[in-house]
Structure 1
């Protein structure tokens, strides 16, 4: 993998740890190994041990949230802030795994390529087709987790990343506008369904706008975890003071 230090600097420096360099001696597996059902089952079994009362589907959705939260922030930030597309297709990406079966880092096959703001939509589509779609399909097949929940997990992270990038970029940044457009259209420009359409909504509560996921991640099925702050269930359950649960 080529040196990425020129890309991950300034506000992006915090993401350097996500990518394993050539001198990284940690054991790695091919990214496409995750798409082998037996191998993925073994990873999820390891991760399930983290929870006192694991639920197979809920474990899968939490595992996916970790994966997307590691992958999407640096990849999308690189697209928008550094105007650089990283090669993260699962077929040519190596992966460092943690002891509990989660992805800990990625080793890329190369440095990728510089892009323009007009290329953002195509770059995001390649990210979807080469990484998100095959992983989500495999997770759903192995665990019976609803694909719409897994896509919602990815969309929830993506929306957060775009909000963060918006604090670094000019309000009229065309690349950011192109990326945000992905979350507002039901189909891609090629006519295929956009599973990342509108993952979150902002609802009014008093004088505030509250961020709410459109689809619950099923976290409530793991008794050791509380509801997340953007959970749609939290907005239908109020405590005795009338406050929304976090």
Structure 2
């Protein structure tokens, strides 16, 4: 299922790494909420291969389970909230382990990544290894591989299930990515210039190999230069007891 593009490289690690120490080092500060949610380990019984969520009934079953406590909830809001957990774990792993940890070629394709579901919601991510040591200028490569091989088909499935615009889900991914780039570069400045990475990954209409960028236009700047506002509302506020997304919300602007 995972089609490598011309920019990608083999995903096997090129040297041993103390995975626990790596996670302890990078899942801190702004990424501390991912501590205990990301593991580098062999697949276990609790982890569902992400490929299963892209093929067959597993995704619909997870969304139904998540929706149950909300009663007759808006399915767009259910799928949107689900995607925020899902994208947050995957994008967070690439930002924390990849950029802040100095690794690349992470096994984030659907056939390799395992997803732990609790109450239908993505609660954990299991990766079989931590890639290899990164070389300069590789910061964007795993993100592009992630969006091409994994998040793009997931957006298609979520959009079809919830009968919602793909732009809703790409907005969720862009919001996470915009935040994660700045935090990872602050932890490890040699990972790259956050402004240049945002330009490449969020603003340019095409990626370096000429492929279309589905994230372009998902965010827009506002009066506060530190805040990039979504163009499409995530609608998660339609779920009882779930707050909106704060200063990046486009409603009322």
Shared topology, TM-score over 0.5? yes
Q: Contact 2:110/2:150 (CA < 8 Å) preserved in 1?
A: yes
- Return the offset for 1:22: 4.3
- Return the offset for 1:48: 0.5
| Alignment of 1:94 onto 2:111 | no
Q: How does 1:149-188 map onto structure 2 within 5 Å? A: 149-170=168-189, 174=192, 176=194, 179-180=197-198, 181-188=200-207
Aligned CA distance change for structure 1 residues 93 and 169 (closer, same or farther; 3 Å): closer
Give the Cα separation in 1 of the matches to 2:42 and 2:208.
41
Partner of 1:232: 250
Query: What number of residue pairs does the alignment pair up?
Result: 231
Give the Cα separation in 2 of the matches to 1:161 and 1:58.
23
Give the Cα separation in 2 of the matches to 1:210 and 1:175.
17
Give the Cα separation in 2 of the matches to 1:120 and 1:173.
6
Please tell me the root mean square deviation across aligned C-alpha atoms, in Å.
2.7
What runs of 5+ residues in structure 2 fail to find an aligned partner?
1-12
| Alignment of 1:213 onto 2:218 | no
- Return the offset for 1:24: 8.6
Partner of 1:133: 152
Query: Could you tell me the TM-score, scaled by structure 1's length?
Result: 0.81
Give the Cα separation in 1 of the matches to 2:40 and 2:23.
13
Give the Cα separation in 2 of the matches to 1:115 and 1:146.
36
Give the Cα separation in 2 of the matches to 1:12 and 1:223.
31
Q: Which one scores higher on RCO, CA 8 angstroms, separation ≥ 6?
A: 2
Find the partner of 1:7 among 22, 27, 36.
22
- Return the offset for 1:34: 0.5
Query: Could you tell me the TM-score, scaled by structure 2's length?
Result: 0.79
Partner of 1:55: 74
- Return the offset for 1:138: 1.5
Q: How does 1:97-116 map onto structure 2 within 5 Å? A: 97-98=117-118, 100-116=119-135
Q: How does 1:37-76 map onto structure 2 within 5 Å? A: 37-76=56-95
**What do residues 43-87 of structure 1 show as CA deviations (whole Å, max 9, x unaligned)?**
100000132441111111111011112221232122222221221
**What do residues 98-131 of structure 1 show as CA deviations (whole Å, max 9, x unaligned)?**
1x10122122233312212312222221111222
Larger of the two Rg values belongs to structure? 1
